[in-house]
Amino acid sequence: MSTLAAPVSHLRENPFEVAREQLAQVADVFNLDANLVNVLGQCKKAVEVSVPTRRDNGSVSVFHGFRVTHNIARGPSKGGIRYHPDVTLDEVKALAMWMTWKCALMGIPFGGAKGGIVCNPKELSRDELERMTRRYTSEIINEIGPERDIPAPDVGTDANVMAWIFDTYSMNKGHSVLGVVTGKPITIGGSLGREEATARGALYCLREALRQQQRGFDGLTVAVQGFGNVGSYLARFLTQNGASVVAVSDSSGGLHNSSGIDIAAATAHKQETGALQGFRGADSITNEELLLVDCEVLAPCALEQVVTGENADKMKARIICEGANGPLTPAADEILEERGVLILPDILANAGGVVVSYFEWVQGLQEYFWKEDEVNAKLNDIVTRAFTQTWELSEHRSISMRMAAYGLAVQRVAEATTTRGLYP
């Protein structure tokens, strides 16, 4: 039996401390009560579990897993589960806190949660992934539920993983519980439009930002870092709307073509080979070089803290659309704001996934499912409303879009906390 230790993390700063510092800044700008900040700055619950998993060769590996609930003042907690070698407890706590703000900004009745397992899913067979997922679900089964805490896909997980969690939970309860997870396959209660929802929400957010500049997608040059669920769909939607995607990347490296990349062909190449590397329709670049290419919009859709104080002043993009959670460090944020770069913050730009997860949860509870155009129309309404509210507050208070978004969200959670009171 082997116990797998976490590798050295890619994170340059402690993400939970970054999240707490963001909260402190919001509290200062919006004059929040210090006692409320003390409450909101901590996670309600953090569970750490071991996940022994039998490998295909008969050996047993023990993985480390987490599930964190940040806040439930506005409803049950909601948040993804990620499988990645660099998962840490503080990363999961930060992601849970950001999820609380994201749900509040979108006006949906959830608090924030997050989960993860320290592993490299690419090195596990499908059978090993299923056994690991089912054991992890069994370890956290008392923490999750449709009225308690509802997981969803995140980095390294997908609809298949959600199906295994749904089945494991339901088998333990003795009946199918559709609302226990979202992001499920359509055949077992998933929602139409859920898979593309995060990217579609980012598209709507970017569309509204361009509208404020009295322009559209035609001729817009974009670089997309990350070619997983969010990045690949966003690149596809952008090209369908007339933009030119000049750079894309995945964990194997990046591609650049100043005349625009054929996203359909690049997607087909990745599906066939498992990586973007080797695609002949563009030049090879690194993920780091992608961040600095000549483009109007950069969409970091991979992991946290890829834009830092070391590379922010070299970037050419004038709009950053945060498809990932926390892709900018505080130092990068400050540099880019001083340079007049418009930053569409993560809790606004990538909230489409949790919005449609909410739709899936509602549909599952009602056992009545919507058409895809209904889902997309409702998503458009919610994202557009949140953008407008954020933009107007940013203009009114002369503050950044990030500060405006966080200000709206934190104040809503603070109000709910005050209204409910402190028990006992």
Q: Is 114 a catalytic residue?
A: yes
DSSP string, 144-207: -BTTTEEEEE-TT--HHHHHHHHHHHHHHHTS--GGG-SS--GGGTPPTTSTTHHHHHHHHHHH
* Cβ-Cβ contacts under 8 Å for 269 (sequence gap 6 or more): 276, 278, 279
Using alpha carbons, select from 16, 19, 70 the residue that is nearest to residue 347.
19
The β-bridge relationship of strands 244-250 and 253-256 is antiparallel
Options 78, 93, 102, 114, the catalytic residue: 114
What number of residues does the chain have? 424
- Residue 62, classed as helix, strand or coil, is strand
Query: What is the amino acid identity at position 183?
Result: G
CB 198 within 8 A of CB 80: no
What's the rounded Cα separation, in Å, for the pair 410 and 143? 25
What's the rounded Cα separation, in Å, for the pair 243 and 199? 15
Backbone angles phi, psi at 173, to 5 degrees: -85, -20
Catalytically active residues are 114
